[in-house]
Amino acid sequence: MALINEKAKEVNAKIVYYGPALSGKTTNIQFIYRKLKPEHKGKLMTLSTQTERTLFFDFLPIELGEIKGLRIRFQLYTVPGQIFYSATRRLVLKNVDGVVFVADSAEDKLQENIDSLKDLHKNLGFHKLSLDKIPHVFQYNKRDLDNALPVDVLNNHLNQNRVPYFEAIATKGVGVLETLTSITKLVVQKLRTAKDLEERVRQMRREEAAAQRNNTTSAAKAQASSNTRAVIEDTGPPSILPDGSLSLPIIFSLSDTGKKYQLEITLNIKELVDISGKAE
């Protein structure tokens, strides 16, 4: 799910390039990185083996467009296609807003494409997401190969919902930006719907409130470490916890700001001495 930063006036949307091993996902991102103007792109991060196979993921933040006064920052990710990196692929799909499925057009790669698409469905399911509800497009890459399958065949096997598809030769940049433009448009269209944006704004406010609570605690800590005095204002009613310890809420204020904080202390009781009958 896209995240909105109201203060910075930006929306963050995540687009994942998925597909079988060596289909050209990293090549797509590298081309986009080379083509975008510096003001539209961040740093390209790649984590690969010595033979340039993606090990974890590639990541490229880009800025394109605006909705409702908010700048949109797209975060492009690729997954590692090799079968044994399934856990990483699942992780990368968390909070995904759009998917580009990069298929290898080579005839002998058809089954790998089909398996990778199944793997995508399964991994989305893990996050309780469904491809039907997520903007997605297909890219039939490596159209320069002699044994490239006809696009109709690829569509019949992979593109059940007949979403937009693009023929590409990623190594030459053919079809790369068209694919990117299409998926970003679809994601923006979805984000534009008021319900989606409202939910995102609400989520952001919840996160901000949580962050503020954290800040308050760390502010209290920071203050306490200086020469500020803490004055105990009140104590709440003590309660005995199931393990026999005593819990005591203490309300204190800081001498310089006057701000009040509540602190819960738990005391382990070794021995209870009955003093009720003792003379003064």
Q: Is 75 in the site for ligand GTP (CB under 6 A)?
A: no
Residue 71: alpha-carbon gap to chain centroid: 17
Give the nearest distance from C-beta 55 to Mg ion in angstroms: 9
Nearer to Mg ion, 11 or 99 (CB): 99
Q: How many CA atoms lie within 13 A of 220 on its CB side?
A: 17
Calculate the alpha carbon distances from 192 to 106, 196, 258 in Å: 37, 7, 44
Residue 145 binding result from Mg ion, ligand GTP, none, given CB thresholds of 5 to 8 Å by partner type: ligand GTP
Which residue in 13, 16, 18, 26 binds ligand GTP (CB under 6 A)? 26
Nearer to Mg ion, 54 or 105 (CB): 54
Where would I find the H helices in 93-144? 110-126
- How many residues interact with Mg ion (rule CB under 5 A)? 3
Nearer to ligand GTP, 169 or 197 (CB): 169
Q: Is 54 in the site for ligand GTP (CB under 6 A)?
A: yes
Amino acid (one-letter) located at 184: T
The closest of 125, 139, 127 to 169, measured between CA atoms, is 139
179 membership: H or E segment, kind and range: helix 176-192
Which residue in 28, 54, 141, 223 binds Mg ion (CB under 5 A)? 54
Q: Are strands 70-78 and 10-18 parallel, antiparallel or unpaired?
A: parallel
Give the nearest distance from C-beta 51 to Mg ion in angstroms: 11
Nearer to Mg ion, 12 or 54 (CB): 54
Q: Give the whole-angstrom CA distance, residue 252 versus residue 34.
A: 57
Residue nearest ligand GTP (C-beta atom): 81
Q: Is 179 in the site for Mg ion (CB under 5 A)?
A: no
Q: Is 105 in the site for Mg ion (CB under 5 A)?
A: no
Which residue in 16, 31, 76, 81 binds ligand GTP (CB under 6 A)? 81
Which residue in 12, 23, 26, 75 binds Mg ion (CB under 5 A)? 26
Which residue in 13, 24, 117, 187 binds ligand GTP (CB under 6 A)? 24
Q: What angle do CA 156, 93, 24 make, to 5 degrees?
A: 55
Q: Is 30 in the site for Mg ion (CB under 5 A)?
A: no
The gap between the terminal CA atoms of the chain, to the nearest Å, is 66
Residue 42: how many other CB atoms lie within 10 Å: 16
| DSSP label of 228 | P
Query: What does the chain come to in residues?
Result: 280
- Residue ranges that bind ligand GTP, judged by CB under 6 A: 19, 21-27, 52-54, 78, 80-82, 141-142, 144-145, 169-171
- Residue ranges that bind Mg ion, judged by CB under 5 A: 25-26, 54
